[in-house]
Amino acid sequence: MNGSVMKTEEALVSAMEPIYLGIFEGIKAYVGGDVLGEGGLNIFGWVPHIDRLWRSAAVTGLEIGYSKEEMLEATRGAIKANGFKTNVYIQPRIWPKAGTGRYHASEFHVVIPIWKFDTLLGKDNSRFGVERRYVVSSWRRIASDALPTQVKSWANYANSALATREAARLGYDGAIFLDNRGFVSEGTGACLMTVRNGTVITPPVTASILESVTRGRLIEFIEEDLGIPVEVRDFTRVELYAADEAFLCGTGYEVTPLTSVDDINFGEEYPGPITTAIAEHYSKILEGKVDTRKSWLTPV
């Protein structure tokens, strides 16, 4: 935090922090050679994640005050100080310091909390194929000309919280947003991909989605490594219903298959074969087992 490694309980801030003005990133480091086991850690997609953090700061008028290299060294330092040897989630957070001007602040907190997570990935992981029944939210995705959805700011997650709470109240496991034009947008914390007649289809960045690092990498390797065509285009709620398979993708959600939306099941088989093939290849990339994708990994 702000240049030193410190215990979470000592990382204290003022009660007057302008908390709604913060930005952050969500990044994961996986154990090389075994997605589920112990060993050396590699950060997935460090460069696009840190570039997005810099873009988020520019759009929202925050100054990070450290170089990208210093952020990487701080992340490595915090992982080592914790002695982590298992998969970890890294969440750099930046916000204006209380009392330094708010919208034109002169000082900013830069904090990099790191904690362990349990992956859904890895062959035969029992969490992967758990039933997940989703619903199309009555809350629309915030329009990107109201709050920029390509910025990873905490304010955007107030929209996600409304949709998640509504889904839970209605007895579903999660929500899918439509955008302000009525086209399918994304999940509450992940992008959406569907499979129809052997083609993967995902909404474009203009559908008020966060420009997801995972989505970008998936689009690349699904076509190039697996030979499955990908279409990036708008689609409607009814075309979502017609999908043979659907899954969420993102740092947190990794590749998360969905069973149904609005009580309409996707296809015959769950999890679907293409979703499973994508998840398995993704976990091999994360384990450092795909030579051509090793450049996506940054050793801790």
Q: Which residue numbers are catalytic?
A: 152
Q: Taking CB under 6 A as the rule, which mask of x and - marks residues 128-147 in contact with ligand PMP? A: --------------------
C-beta of 250 vs 272, nearer to ligand PMP: 250
Answer for which of 60, 202, 214, 256 binds ligand PMP (CB under 6 A) is: 214
Under the binding rule (CB under 6 A), the answer on residue 213 touching ligand PMP is yes
| Span interacting with ligand PMP, options 109-117, 123-131, 237-245, 250-258, rule CB under 6 A | 250-258
- Asked whether the CA dihedral 99, 104, 106, 111 is positive or negative, the reply is positive
Token pair of 276, please? 């499973």
Q: Taking CB under 6 A as the rule, which mask of x and - marks residues 94-133 in contact with ligand PMP? A: ----------------------------------------
Distance separating alpha carbons of residues 188 and 136, to the nearest angstrom: 11
Under the binding rule (CB under 6 A), the answer on residue 279 touching ligand PMP is no
Q: Taking CB under 6 A as the rule, which mask of x and - marks residues 12-31 in contact with ligand PMP? A: --------------x-----
Under the binding rule (CB under 6 A), the answer on residue 245 touching ligand PMP is no
Minimum distance of ligand PMP from residue 274's CB (angstroms): 19
C-beta of 191 vs 297, nearer to ligand PMP: 191
Answer for which of 190, 207, 219, 300 binds ligand PMP (CB under 6 A) is: 190
- Cα distances from 238 to residues 68, 184, 243, in angstroms, run 43, 10, 9
- Total interface residues for ligand PMP by CB under 6 A: 13
Distance separating alpha carbons of residues 47 and 145, to the nearest angstrom: 26
Distance separating alpha carbons of residues 195 and 255, to the nearest angstrom: 13
Answer for which of 1, 191, 207, 222 binds ligand PMP (CB under 6 A) is: 191
C-beta of 98 vs 205, nearer to ligand PMP: 205
Beta carbons of 178 and 141 less than 8 angstroms apart = yes
Minimum distance of ligand PMP from residue 257's CB (angstroms): 16
C-beta of 26 vs 39, nearer to ligand PMP: 26
C-beta of 215 vs 293, nearer to ligand PMP: 215
Q: Taking CB under 6 A as the rule, which mask of x and - marks residues 159-188 in contact with ligand PMP? A: ---------------------------x--
Give contact residues for ligand PMP (rule: CB under 6 A).
Answer: 26, 186, 189-191, 210, 212-215, 250-252
